[in-house]
Amino acid sequence: MRLLSFYLSSILLLFGSFLMTACSNAVVPAPESFTPQPVVTALITKPTEPAETAAASEAASAMQPAAPTSPAPTLSQATCTLTPSDMLGPFYTPGAPQRDQVGTGYVLTGVVRSGLDCSPIPGAQIDFWLAGPSGDYGDDWRAVTFSAADGFYRFESHPPPPYAGRPAHIHILVSTPGYQTLVTQHYPSQGSSQAAFDLVLSPSP
Question: Residue ranges of the domains in the chain?
Answer: 109-201
User: Rounded to whole angstroms, what are the CA distances from 7 to 3, 18, 80?
Assistant: 6, 17, 137
Label residue 109 exposed, middle or buried (CB < 10 Å: 0-12, 13-18, 19+).
Answer: middle
DSSP helix/strand/coil, 198: coil
How many CB atoms lie under 10 A from the CB of residue 57?
11
Q: In what order do the strands lie in the sheet with 125-129?
A: 142-146, 125-129, 170-175, 182-186
Backbone angles phi, psi at 3, to 5 degrees: -65, -40
Q: What is the pLDDT along the chain (205 residues), one digit of tens a residue?
A: 454 455 455 565 555 554 454 444 444 444 444 444 544 444 444 445 444 444 445 544 545 444 434 343 333 445 689 999 999 999 999 999 999 999 999 999 999 999 999 999 999 999 999 999 999 999 999 999 999 999 999 999 999 999 888 999 999 999 999 999 999 999 999 999 999 999 999 999 9
Domain 109-201 indexed as CATH 2.60.130.10 = yes
Encode pLDDT of 48-62 as tens digits: 544 444 444 554 454
Nearest to 182 by CA among 129, 117, 125: 125
The pTM assigned to this predicted structure is 0.63
